[in-house]
């Protein structure tokens, strides 16, 4: 039994599940769908609703797959894509250090996911149980390349999407313009 890989999968997968459910449901103090949509719009990832949902579902499902050791290279690729997008759209201007809002944590996660793709999830995993465990440098490089490539394609598509409509405040209505007794306006 590989205790290290099992522990890594449980921690990394569990944290991604938590992060995804923050986006989807507002669990664990997260922004929920509305807040995530607002964030995606601010990052010019349009349509924001689609990107918010995709990010939350990818983190939740990818995290669950990593934790279970299921389709590990695919799960690693999907989570690498989300982390690459976060680096490019949020953390890159802040430099490397997480204390400054930088990208170091995201890169550590990508490195750990790449290592899991190379070594495989281990004997206590669904991949092993189902006889579909794929390991080696080629799987690691393929997962890394697929994740980074998907991130850049997603970001390019997101910048071409339609912007959210701008809502304009309505003109104030004078009490005299409202039919009926002006003293009942707002009652």
**Which three-class secondary structure state does DSSP give residue 101?**
coil
Distance CA 18, CA 39 (A): 18
- Report whether 70 contacts 127 (CB < 8 A): yes
pLDDT tens-digit readout, 67-78: 999 999 999 999
Residues 120-142: tens digit of each pLDDT: 999 999 999 999 999 999 999 99
What residues contact 87, with CB distance under 8 A and at least 6 apart?
103, 106, 107
3-state helix vs strand vs coil in the chain, percent to 5: 70, 0, 30
Question: What's the average model confidence in pLDDT over 15-40?
Answer: 97
Assess contact for 140 and 117: CB atoms under 8 A.
yes
Write down the domain spans for the chain: 3-182
Contact 109, 101 (CB under 8 A): no
Kind and range of the H or E element at 152? helix 137-160
Q: Is the pLDDT of residue 185 over 70?
A: no
């Amino acid at each position: 039994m590989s205790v290290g890989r099992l522990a890594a999968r449980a921690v990394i997968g569990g944290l991604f599940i938590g992060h995804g459910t923050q986006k989807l449901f507002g669990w664990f103090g997260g922004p929920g769908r509305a807040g995530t949509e607002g964030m995606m719009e601010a990052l010019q990832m349009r349509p924001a609703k689609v990107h918010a949902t995709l990010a939350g579902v990818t983190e939740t499902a990818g995290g669950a797959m990593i934790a279970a050791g299921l389709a590990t290279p695919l799960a690693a690729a999907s989570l690498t894509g989300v982390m690459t997008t976060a680096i490019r759209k949020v953390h890159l201007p802040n430099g490397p250090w997480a204390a400054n809002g930088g990208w170091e944590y995201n890169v550590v996660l990508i490195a750990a996911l790449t290592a899991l793709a190379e070594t495989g999830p281990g004997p206590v995993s669904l991949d092993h149980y189902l006889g579909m465990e794929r390991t080696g440098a080629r799987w690691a490089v393929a997962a890394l390349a697929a994740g980074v490539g998907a991130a850049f394609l997603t970001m390019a598509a997101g910048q071409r999407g339609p912007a959210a409509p701008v809502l304009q405040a309505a003109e104030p209505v004078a009490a005299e313009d409202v039919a009926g007794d002006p003293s009942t306006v707002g009652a």
